[in-house]
Amino acid sequence: MPTLDSSSQVAEYFAINLRKTRETRGLSQADLAQRVKELGHPCTQATIWKLEQGHREPKLSEVAAIGAALDLWSWTELTTKPATFNAALVVDQWRQRAFALAEQTRAAAVAQLEALEQLAFAVRAALDAGLPVEWAERRSGGWLEFTPEATVLRAVLAGRVDFEVEDEELDRRMAEQERLAEQVLGALESSGVPLAIKPDDIEFVEAEDQRHDEGSEASA
C-alpha cells in the first residue's frame, strides 16, 4: 500500500503536524484513533503514537482518514512545513470561534424575541386583570416598547388612551394615538428587532357607544 515518501521531510512534517493538530483539538491519541475508526479505517491508540513519533511510515489512506478525523480542509496540509501549517491552524481556530459565536448570537436573538413576546402577553393579562398601565410599564422594566407582537401592541396602545372622555376631545385623542404609535414603532426600528407590524396596521378600538354616537351625528 502506498506510503508517504520517507526519504524526504514529508513524513517528518506529518509527525509534527499530526501531534500539533491533535493537541490543539483537545484530543487524546485514543480519541483520535476512535474518530478514525468511525470513518471506517482501522486505527488504534498505538498507531497514532507510532505515527507521531515517526516510528513507522504513514500509509496514504491512513493519512487521508486522519485528516478527515481532524476536520482539516485537506489531508495534504499535514505534510506541509510546520510553520506554514501552524499559520493555517491559527486561521482555522479563529474561523471556528467566529462561527460558534455567530451561532450563539442567533440563538440568543431568537430566545430574546420569544421572551419579549411572552412579556407582552403577560402585560396584556395584567391589564385585563385591572392593573393600571403605568404599573405594567414600570414592572416590565422598559422592555415593553420592544415587543414585536402586533396584537399585543394594539392592546397596549389602546390601553394607554382613555376613551371615556368628552366628544370635543376626539382630536386630542387621535393625535395622542398617532404619537404613541410612532413612539413604539420608532423604538422597535432603533432596536433592530424585525417589525411584525407596519404603521398602517395599528388600529385603536373605539368604545361602542362612541361609534354609535358618531353614526347618529352622520345620519342627522
Which residue would you say has higher pLDDT here, 176 or 150? 176
pLDDT band for position 3 (cuts 50, 70, 90): low
- For 162, 167, 204, 209, 211, the CA distances from 214, given in Å and listed in that order, are 17, 9, 16, 9, 5
C-alpha cell at 141: 422594566
Confidence at residue 48, expressed as pLDDT on a 0 to 100 scale = 93
Mean pLDDT of the chain: 74
Q: What is the pLDDT of residues 120-140, one digit of tens each?
A: 788 888 888 888 877 877 887
Confidence at residue 138, expressed as pLDDT on a 0 to 100 scale = 80
- Give the integer Cα–Cα distance in Å for 142 and 131: 17
Instruction: Check whether 35 has a pLDDT greater than 90.
Output: yes
Which residue would you say has higher pLDDT here, 46 or 153? 46
Instruction: Check whether 63 has a pLDDT greater than 80.
Output: yes
C-alpha cell at 179: 404619537
pLDDT band for position 204 (cuts 50, 70, 90): very low
Query: Residue 160: CB partners within 8 Å, gap ≥ 6?
Result: 133, 180
Residues 70, 32 contacting (CB under 8 angstroms): yes
Instruction: Check whether 103 has a pLDDT greater than 50.
Output: yes
Q: What is the pLDDT of residues 174-196, one digit of tens each?
A: 776 677 767 666 666 666 655 55
All domains of the chain in start order, with CATH: 10-80 (1.10.260.40), 102-207 (no CATH)
Residues 111, 143 contacting (CB under 8 angstroms): no
Confidence at residue 7, expressed as pLDDT on a 0 to 100 scale = 52
Tell me what the mean pLDDT of segment 59-83 comes to. Answer: 85
Grid cell 376626539 is found at 170
Q: Is the pTM of this model over 0.75?
A: no
